[in-house]
Amino acid sequence: MPYVSRSHDGKITSIHQEETSTANEFLETDNPELTAFLVQMGQQQQDGKEGEIHQELVASDFEMIRVLEDLITTLIDKRVLMMTDLPKAAQRKLSQRYSLRSKLTDLGGIVGQNDDIMLP
């Protein structure tokens, strides 16, 4: 969905819904560079109390990602939802996350006891 324009030093300068002559690089919506750009733009537009609220929302987005991942996993486990019901891009992203979490589980004692790491 987002196409970006970049400066000569490679930094994102603008975001577009459609490809243009200057914005021809497509980035996934969860791209860290794109997220950082959006946060920076939001911080520049917000000030005072609104800026603080915006920062709290951005911080909670990462926590909500985990909640949604757990919800999707639960729905799939209970056969309310099939993985194939999801768009291909969502299937790829979930599969990547499941694979990474599986690798953490395989590390066993190396990871240590951390209540913040929830594995499916």
Residue boundaries of the structural domains of the chain: 1-45, 50-120
pLDDT score at 78 = 96
Q: How confident is the model at residue 17 (pLDDT cuts 50, 70, 90)?
A: confident
* pTM (predicted TM-score): 0.47
State both tokens at 4.
């970006």
pLDDT, one tens digit per residue, over 48-73 is 667 677 778 877 887 888 899 999 99
* Residue ranges of E strands in the chain: 3-6, 12-16, 25-26
Is 83's pLDDT higher than 50? yes
Span 25-43, average pLDDT: 81
Residue in this structure with the two tokens 């002559």, named with its chain if needed? 21
